[in-house]
Structure 1
Amino acid sequence: MSKYIVIFLFIVSGLFPAFSESKATAMADIPPATVPQKDTIYMKILPQIDVYPRPVFKNNRQRRLYNRLIRDVRITLPYAKQAANILDNVNDSLQNIKGEKARKEYLKSVEKDLFSEFEQPLRKLTFSQGRLLIKLVDRECQQNSFELVKLYRGGFSAFFWQGIARIFGANLKAEYDAKGEDLQTEQIVRMVELGLL
């Protein structure tokens, strides 16, 4: 019985503001409903929410690694999102630029601006944060870092930077696997985006 009272109060509380206004605006504020067999049922499409189980750790080392991953995602995710925005802006600008020489000059100016803005903060990243950033760039841009360097700087530069990355234990060709290897990272990224972490 109490279940029906709660449902009734929920429905009435959703409809109450509509009755307090004028009749013209009240009709616009009435929530959608269906009428099956002479009975009105309130309908509301709720936004999708992701529910993740609370992480269970076997030992303190796993807890520290999880907390370190949270810290690393908080640090690197804004850079990956900025990279995606900058890439969109560059692609839009390149569509309006005619001529190969003008395109190269534009890309050099963008590169110079990016180096002056991001070189110092990115040099402060740890190796694990750098590897995570490479994967998050793939997540945000839908292209791995090797392909991006090859597209904008050429194959030789991409090969050179891939060699440098491999020396330091990273891989510019690393791809983000949200349902497999990077599942835990994806859960943390979504919680950070929602402001839950």
Structure 2
Amino acid sequence: MIFGVTLKAQEPVAPVFPKMSKADTIRVASTNDNGMMIPWMQLQDVSIFAHRIWKSPAEQMAYNRLRYNVLKVMPYALFAKRRYQQLEEDIARTPEKKDQKKLVKQCDQEIKDMFNREIKELTITQGQILTKLIDREVGRTTYDIVKQTKGGFAAFSYQIVARVVGHNLKSTYNPNEDRDIESIIRTSGFYQ
């Protein structure tokens, strides 16, 4: 009365791998799609920028001057970001205030030794761009950084000197307002 019957709903299919030759040495990820192994690899993002149309030659010259200034000060902003992050990590690991002040002085001296001549030769416009880029990279204004590392009086003094030359250490970076700077940074190759 009871019969034994073997049923097969699907037959297993062995995956088919592409044929390899002697020159095939690159290993990539692959996906099994109904028994066919399909190799794939992730590609880098591609940004496409339109050709900019200038209203006047003066506008193009102003943009080129801004591009020159941004490209000149961007390495300083990136260095400041790395060094400030390292300083914060070192301060977090050091419990005593005396040792923390020593770390801050050491960091300040290192920056002065490395960039003393170059930073002194920056123009006022390049200094303004540098403070905005530091805010962009670190996420804090230059005034806040000086206040934390050197104290409130030093930050106040630096702010007064900056105001005399028509600058503000409390200026922040806004990608919408500073869209030319943002586009220069994105097309420059600093972030790849």
Match of 2:59 in 1: 62
Q: Report the AA paired with residue 181 of structure 1.
A: E
Inter-partner Cα distance in structure 1 for 2:21 and 2:187: 38
Assess, with a 3 A threshold, how the Cα gap between structure 1 residues 41 and 20 changes in structure 2: closer, same or farther: closer
Partner of 1:104: 101
What CA distance in whole angstroms lies between the structure 2 residues aligned with 1:66 and 1:39?
53
Shift of residue 152, structure 1, vs aligned partner: 0.8
1:4 alignment partner in structure 2: none
> Is contact 2:28-2:39 (8 Å) kept?
no
Gaps of at least 5 residues in structure 1 are 1-17
C-alpha distance 83-30 of structure 1, shift in aligned 2 (>3 A): closer
For 2:178 and 2:32, locate their aligned partners in 1 and report how far apart those are by CA, in whole Å: 41
Q: CA deviation at 1:32?
A: 3.5
Retained in 1: the 8 A contact 2:29–2:39?
Answer: no
Cα shift at 1:45: 4.8
> Does 2:67 match 1:51?
no
Identity %: 27
Q: How many residues align?
A: 174
Tell me how large the CA RMSD over aligned residues is.
Answer: 2.8
Write the mapping of 1:27-42 to structure 2, written as runs, cut at 5 A.
29=28, 31-32=30-31
**Distance (whole Å) between structure 2 residues aligned to residue 104 and residue 125 of structure 1:** 28
TM-score (norm: length of structure 2): 0.78
For 1:181, the equivalent position in structure 2 comes to 177
Distance in 2 between residues matched to 1:57 and 1:120, nearest whole Å: 36
Tell me which structure has the larger Cα radius of gyration: 2
Q: CA deviation at 1:44?
A: 5.7
What TM-score comes out, normalization by structure 1 length? Answer: 0.77
Letter of the 1:96 counterpart: R
- 2:189 corresponds in structure 1 to 193
The equivalences for 1:12-23 within 5 A come to 19-21=19-21
| Contact 1:149–1:157 (8 Å) recurs in 2 | yes
Inter-partner Cα distance in structure 2 for 1:189 and 1:78: 11
User: CA offsets, 1:4-35, max 9 Å, x none?
Assistant: xxxxxxxxxxxxxx53258xx89x63644656
CA contact (8 A) 1:33 1:43 kept: no
Q: What amino acid is the match of 2:85? A: D
**Contact 2:159–2:169 (8 Å) recurs in 1:** yes
Q: Which runs of 5+ in 2 are unaligned?
A: 1-17
Give the Cα–Cα distance (whole angstroms) in 1 for the partners of residues 28 and 107 of structure 2.
Answer: 49
2:166 aligned partner: 169
Measured at CA, do residues 42 and 117 of structure 1 come closer, stay the same or move farther in structure 2, by a change above 3 Å? closer
Which structure carries more helix by proportion? 1
Q: Deviations over 1:130-183 (max 9, x none)?
A: 1100000011111111111111111111111111111111111111111x1111
